[in-house]
Amino acid sequence: MKVTEVIAISKGTLLTPDVNLDREIQGGFSGDLMSDVLASVQAEAVLITGLCNPQVVRTALIADVRLIIFARGKKPGEDILNLAIDENLPIAASPLGLYEISGRLTQAGLPSYEMEMNLFPKD
Amino acid sequence: MSDQATLSDNDAGMITRVEELGYELKISQVMTTNVVTFSPDMTMLEALNLIQHHRISGAPVTMNGEVVGIVSTEDLIRALRDGRIDRKVSDYMSKNLITAKATDKVVEALRIFAKKNVGRLPILDENNKLVGLLTKGDITNGLLDALQRDYQAEEVKRYRASHLFEDIESDRTSLILRYRIIKDDFLHGGAASNHIKRALLRLGADRQVARRCGIAVYEAEMNLIIHTNNGGFLRVEIEPHKITMEAYDDGPGIDDVEKALTPGFSTASEEVRNKGFGAGMGLVNIRACVDEMTIKTSKESGTNLYMTIYLDKPKN
Ligand SMILES: Nc1ncnc2c1ncn2[C@@H]1O[C@H](COP(=O)(O)OP(=O)(O)O)[C@@H](O)[C@H]1O
Ligand SMILES: [Mg+2]
């Protein structure tokens, strides 16, 4: 799905006008804990989060995320946006919550890119 | 194009690559050499026999190496229909010559095929001597061969990606990166790890390896920021076949390593959790990403976390 399409479905506003929007979004992940993101997001996903600080951008870069949507009306500051712009990572903000955005995107056909975690690892 | 929407990135890449190849390849690289030719004095019957013998559908007519005409099956049919198959080739050949130069690019030939109604093009050298013959089929085969070569080059590149510094010979090649990590510096948290990941990609590591290193070292970096007395250091050594990452600090040490390795266990404060950390998944994530992980820890000398990723045995 196109970045602009994902943002439109999420009722979001693009906050990084000059970054490259051509890369396809393959799936979605939502969460607020950065270790969870690193543990289970597959590459090339949109990250939907209620957390709003520069670590979100750094985590996203490590995890090969292709778009960040800050949910529930959180507005990222200049520092966050500048970091993302430097790295050519698009950022959007949406008034909707995580559940609502995830639901809309799933309904529009964007699959979950959250890997299942084993509740009882053997080793 | 109506089906543009269903074109995948990969297909689009291939199409532009084919176009590019059209501009890169010279006609001489895709044409047929060893061309069967007719002489103008031959009879059309002799030409027909040659055509059947070589299983071709036409051939240029030459005199002293220069092309003076071209005979196609259509010309033969005309001669047969007229009952004049014993006439000379020069009477029936088409003299309206469309040719191309061997040094021209393949796109040039494609343009000619698109504009003119010809099935084959005699190819000439700089002295206008015949050096080859080109059909649309030759172009298709030439492009497919070139794509195949591209693909093999890509495979070689992929192989190399699992062996950094491939071209450098020494008894021991390695690159060491060091970062000082400051306690409570959330503002820069993850910056060092991103630098490390980028360095690996620049050195030609594949994306999976760079991502695994990035995740492991990021978790280690955040632990230095969150859980230490005075911050610490990250040291990454990149060698042709392995990447060794080390995070060390001078305290307070980990009380119970077993417990610290339990998914969800965390001693992080409420404040840290509000920043999105303290899920108690850091060490678990590290262990999942690296091939080897060792923790040495004590109250007196602090914690040393060693992480190794081997480049020639891919982890899934
Ligand atoms: N360098 C360190 N020094 C002291 N304690 C540490 C260090 N790294 C990890 N720990 C301890 O191990 C626990 C688990 O770490 P981790 O799995 O990264 O989860 P988290 O950082 O989310 O708490 C931490 O809560 C902390 O108590
Ligand atoms: Mg941690």
Is B39 a domain residue?
A: yes
Last residue of a domain, one of B89, B124, B141: B141
Residue B172 confidence class, pLDDT cut points 50, 70, 90: confident
Task: Kindly report the nearest CA distance between residue B211 and chain A, in angstroms.
Answer: 6
pLDDT of residue B174: 86
Residues B85 and B181 in one domain: no
Instruction: Provide mean pLDDT across the span B134-160.
Output: 78
Which residue's C-alpha comes closest to atom 21 of ligand 1? Answer: B278
Residues B7 and B135 in one domain: yes
Instruction: Provide mean pLDDT across the span B251-261.
Output: 95
3-state SS record for chain B? CHHHHHCCHHHHHHHHHHHHHHHHCEHHHHCECCCCCECCCCEHHHHHHHHHHHCCCEEEEEECCEEEEEEEHHHHHHHHHCCCCCCEHHHHCECCCCCEECCCEHHHHHHHHHHCCCCEEEEECCCCEEEEEEEHHHHHHHHHHHHHHHHHHHHHHHHHHCCCCCCCCCCCCCEEEEEEECCCCHHHCCHHHHHHHHHHHHCCCCHHHHHHHHHHHHHHHHHHHHHCCCCEEEEEEECCCEEEEEEEECCCCCCCHHHHCCCCCCCCCHHHHHCCCCCCCHHHHHHHHCCEEEEEEECCCEEEEEEEEECCCCCC
Separation of B266 CA from ligand 2 center, angstroms?
8
Instruction: Provide mean pLDDT across the span B197-226.
Output: 93
| pLDDT tens-digit series, residues B7-22 | 555 565 555 677 778 8
* Structural domains in chain A, sorted by start: 3-101 (3.40.1390.20)
Is B154 a domain residue?
A: no
Q: How many domains does chain B have?
A: 2
* CA-B267 nearest atom, ligand 1: 25
pLDDT of residue B12: 55
Task: Kindly report the nearest CA distance between residue B16 and chain A, in angstroms.
Answer: 16
pLDDT of residue B119: 84
Q: Which residues of chain A have pLDDT under 50?
A: 123
CA distance linking residue B116 with residue B132, whole number of Å: 19
Residue B23 confidence class, pLDDT cut points 50, 70, 90: confident
**Bond preceding residue B40 cis, omega within 30 of 0:** no
Is B156 a domain residue?
A: no
Residues B129 and B180 in one domain: no
- What's B43's domain CATH number? 3.10.580.10
| pLDDT tens-digit series, residues B85-111 | 999 999 999 998 899 999 999 989 989
Lowest mean pLDDT among B68-72, B141-145, B271-275: B141-145
Separation of B224 CA from ligand 1 center, angstroms?
9
Beta-bridge mates of residue A76:
none
pLDDT of residue A47: 97
Residues B282 and B209 in one domain: yes
Is B315 a domain residue?
A: no
Is B119 a domain residue?
A: yes
Residues B16 and B89 in one domain: yes
CA distance linking residue B164 with residue A123, whole number of Å: 32
Last residue of a domain, one of B104, B126, B141: B141
Is B153 a domain residue?
A: no
Residues B178 and B122 in one domain: no
Residue B166, pLDDT above cutoff 80: no
Residues B187 and B298 in one domain: yes
Q: Which residues of B touch A64 (CB under 8 A)?
A: 207, 211
Residues B224 and B276 in one domain: yes
Cβ separation of B215 and A43 shorter than 8 Å? no
Q: Which residues of A touch B316 (CB under 8 A)?
A: none
Of B186, B190, B280, the CB nearest to A59: B190
pLDDT of residue B8: 57
- What's B291's domain CATH number? 3.30.565.10
Task: Kindly report the nearest CA distance between residue B21 and chain A, in angstroms.
Answer: 24
Is B147 a domain residue?
A: no
Residues B188 and B98 in one domain: no
Q: Which domain holds residue B263?
A: 170-310
Q: How many percent of chain B have pLDDT more than 70? A: 90
Residue type, A94: S
pLDDT of residue B212: 94
Residues B96 and B208 in one domain: no
Last residue of a domain, one of B124, B141, B158: B141
Residues B91 and B204 in one domain: no
Residue B4 confidence class, pLDDT cut points 50, 70, 90: very low
pLDDT of residue B5: 43
Residues B120 and B211 in one domain: no
Is B255 a domain residue?
A: yes
Q: Which residues of A touch B219 (CB under 8 A)?
A: 35, 38
Other beta carbons within 10 Å of A71: 25
ipTM: 0.88
Separation of B141 CA from ligand 1 center, angstroms?
60
